[in-house]
Amino acid sequence: MKSIGFRHMITVRNVVLSMLLTGMQLSAMPISLPAQSDTGINGPVLHVYGPGGPLPAMKEAAEAFQNTRHVRVIVTAGPTPKWLPDAKENGDIIYSGSEEMMSDLQVALAGVLDPATIVPLYLREAAILVRPGNPSRIKGIEDLLSSGHHILVVNGAGQKGLWEDIVGRDGRISSVARFRSNISMVASNSAEAKAAWQSNSTLDAWLIWTIWQASNPSLADEVPIDGTHQIYRDCAVGITVRGKQTPEASEFVRFLESAEGQKIFIKWGWNARK
């Protein structure tokens, strides 16, 4: 992995501080957001925990559910270690950013999360994000096998092994080797990758999910990945033992699966094809 220079480190620090002030996701801490900042709701409270990628869709869905069902929904998102202790104490609903993440959560929340309640909701596609205007003229994965590119990837938070799965789908070890030689940074989660993308202008391609471009349209342009190389991973949701005692938890999951919930997730870049 190539290192980022000292000046870039300073910029990353400033970006992170700015993100803290604006309430955006940080790699160092979770975000705990009620669906609305001042709900005025005195009814049941649902505590929902999960990663930051699905947060924009999950938060909007929580707000829509809250407004019609008069149930306060608090969505806490961020790196798993930051919210896991609280989820063990008061979590009602847990969502994930991939099936491998949900499998890890089943282990981490053994005795808390009921595996029988887990439901895959929607899929998201991988994509190549490029600088606005695509100055490197990247058209697809094959272009990223050529020397001279500086690629940002994530290996964690629902993206473990993602770049290898994508590049290796053509069955050629040479493709994996050539792509690897162009990787300039491996981030541990998407928030860390976003901060690096904003601070290090030498990065010209970012392999991540389409939903990140949908929620940050001015940050990057999207280059689709061809069918041969495309990978999909889902957002799944499950109910805890505690949540099963609250009827509104099951009702919220049904709302996420409903036509209204589906519309919200599609808005934020998720795939609802059956």
pLDDT in tens, 257-274: 999 999 999 999 999 988
If you average pLDDT over every residue of the chain, what do you get? Answer: 88
Q: Give the confidence band of 11 by pLDDT, cuts at 50, 70, 90.
A: very low
Q: Identify the domain boundary among 224, 243, 258.
A: 224
Q: Which helix (H) or strand (E) holds 265?
A: helix 259-267
Domain that holds residue 116: 24-122+234-267
φ, ψ of residue 27 to 5 degrees: the values are -70, -20
Percent of the residues in the chain that have a pLDDT greater than 90, as a whole number: 76
CB 119: neighbour CB atoms within 10 A? 14
Q: Are residues 110 and 33 in the same domain?
A: yes
Inside any domain, residue 149: yes
Alpha-carbon gap, residue 203 to 152, rounded angstroms: 7
Residue written as tokens 């992995």?
1
Torsion of the alpha carbons at 61, 65, 71 and 72, rounded to the nearest 10: 20
Does residue 143 contact residue 159 with C-beta atoms inside 8 Å? Answer: no
pTM: 0.81
Inside any domain, residue 10: no
